């Protein structure tokens, strides 16, 4: 919005102020804006949730874990509204709203945010409103997740019809790409968005764990979106993408502003979500954040690299898959004390802040490895 206003007022020519045209400059402003918005609206949203009694009492099929988390009773949930609102407002302020990738990013946040919000609202108000159902049914949730993924993947396919690198599958540590048939691209996009929309949800079980790890993933996606789009300051106009052997996706740089807005939002949310948490994220925050991470990987053609960037989320997901599989295979034995993985370490004697900070360190290591992979080819 501000970008278009400054362009309309011809500020660049009249006042010789060109900085707002620079993507990284606006990305920094987006981070600061969303951080400020989150810090401002956070207390208001938390008080509103408390008045509405939108509180949670985590319950697990493990007596010891229930004992460890008993102090979290009635902590306001749906705090992800702080992230959702501040991200969207900051993106509207600083991004070019006529950019097709930004438009779809906004749709992703709204679509999956509404889905998560509906699930949270039904789940958390069922007792106070004397409802029998506990949130959306699994099949209802899946239908809307796949529906949103179909919508985004189809329009993304149309955008990539004119972008050669957009129609290929890129692999880390591999010099080159693998061409994808048209039908395969859409199917990969649908599967990926549907799967990643649940990725953050599994890690949203400890104060500050999910928000801190999402901040690191967002920072890497800011860099990737800029790199695959922008040219180097060289006479031959070589792109950063060609230099680093990454796909070149014109106009994807504007998404740096969107992910910078997410970065500021989750840092602002972390102010209220750090131990002891004043609010939990809920599905209204975790679903759109997971879908946004997947969308960023799809646009930059780094679906596989996202598994490295979000290594903590992959660990959490795989711990659940292995736990369920091992439980069924052995007829009732458990591979971990409890899944997802952060609960295993909590039950092993680590305090909650220890688990969170150590997982943050792992997240930072995974992010650093991901940033190094473009040169290891």
pLDDT tens-digit readout, 298-321: 999 988 889 999 999 999 989 988
Higher pLDDT, 41 or 22: 41
Cβ–Cβ under 8 Å, residues 336 and 323:
yes
- pTM over the 0.75 mark: yes
* Cα–Cα distance measured from residue 42 to residue 178, given in angstroms and rounded to the nearest whole number: 45
Residue written as token pair 């874990």: 65
Cis peptide leading into residue 198 (ω within 30°): no
* Cα–Cα distance measured from residue 323 to residue 306, given in angstroms and rounded to the nearest whole number: 23
| Sign of the CA dihedral running 22, 93, 266, 268 | positive
* Cα–Cα distance measured from residue 219 to residue 81, given in angstroms and rounded to the nearest whole number: 21
pLDDT tens-digit readout, 272-281: 999 888 999 9
- Residue 235: the pLDDT is 47
Residue written as token pair 């954040």: 289
Residue written as token pair 């010099």: 175
Higher pLDDT, 237 or 186: 186
Higher pLDDT, 20 or 16: 20
- Residue 244: the pLDDT is 76
* Cα–Cα distance measured from residue 266 to residue 271, given in angstroms and rounded to the nearest whole number: 9
For the segment 322-340, the average pLDDT, to the nearest whole number, is 87
Q: Please check the confidence at residue 61 and state whether its pLDDT lies above 70.
A: no
Q: Which range, 15-29, 104-118, 334-348, is most confident?
A: 104-118
Read off the tokens for 190: 């649908």
- Counting residues of the chain whose pLDDT is more than 70, the rounded percentage is 85
Q: Is 245 left (phi over 0), alpha (psi -120 to 50) or beta?
A: left
For the segment 184-201, the average pLDDT, to the nearest whole number, is 87
Cβ–Cβ under 8 Å, residues 296 and 290:
no
pLDDT tens-digit readout, 144-173: 999 999 999 999 988 888 888 887 888 777
DSSP letters for 231-272: BPSSTT--BHHHHTT----TTGGGHHHHHHHHHHHHHHHHHH
Whole-Å CA distances, 231 to 27, 253, 377? 17, 10, 21
Q: Which pLDDT band holds residue 264 (cuts at 50, 70, 90)?
A: very high
- Residue 161: the pLDDT is 81
């Amino acid at each position: 919005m501000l970008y278009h206003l400054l362009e309309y007022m011809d500020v660049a020519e009249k006042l010789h102020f060109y900085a707002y045209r620079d993507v990284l400059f606006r990305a920094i402003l987006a981070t600061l804006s969303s951080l400020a918005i989150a810090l401002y609206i956070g207390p208001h949203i938390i008080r509103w949730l408390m008045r509405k009694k939108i509180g949670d009492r985590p319950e697990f099929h493990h007596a010891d874990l229930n004992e460890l988390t008993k102090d979290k009773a009635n902590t306001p949930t749906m705090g992800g509204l702080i992230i959702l609102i501040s991200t969207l407002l900051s993106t509207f302020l600083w991004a070019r709203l006529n950019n097709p990738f930004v438009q779809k990013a906004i749709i992703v946040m709204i679509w999956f945010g509404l889905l998560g919000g509906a699930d949270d609202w039904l789940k958390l108000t069922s007792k106070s409103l004397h409802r029998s159902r506990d949130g959306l049914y699994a099949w209802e949730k899946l239908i809307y997740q796949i529906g949103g993924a179909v919508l985004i993947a189809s329009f993304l396919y149309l955008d990539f019809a004119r972008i050669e690198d957009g129609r290929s599958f890129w692999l880390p540590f591999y010099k080159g790409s693998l061409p994808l048939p048209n039908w395969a691209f859409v199917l990969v996009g649908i599967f990926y968005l549907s799967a990643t929309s649940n990725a953050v949800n599994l890690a949203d079980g400890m104060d500050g764990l999910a928000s801190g790890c999402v901040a690191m993933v967002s920072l890497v996606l800011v860099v990737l979106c800029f790199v695959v789009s922008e040219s180097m300051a060289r006479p031959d106009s070589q792109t950063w993408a060609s230099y680093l052997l990454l796909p070149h996706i014109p106009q994807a740089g504007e998404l740096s502003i969107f992910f910078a807005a997410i970065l500021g939002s989750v840092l602002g949310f972390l102010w209220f979500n750090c131990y002891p948490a004043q609010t939990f994220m809920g599905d209204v925050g975790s679903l759109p954040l997971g879908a946004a991470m997947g969308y960023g990987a799809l646009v930059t053609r780094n679906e596989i690299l996202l598994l490295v960037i979000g290594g903590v989320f992959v660990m959490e997901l795989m711990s659940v898959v292995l736990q369920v599989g091992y439980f069924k295979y052995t007829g009732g034995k458990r591979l971990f004390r409890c899944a997802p993985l952060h609960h295993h370490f909590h039950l092993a004697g680590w305090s909650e802040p220890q688990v969170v900070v150590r997982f943050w360190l792992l997240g930072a290591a995974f992010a650093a490895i991901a940033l190094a992979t473009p040169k290891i080819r």
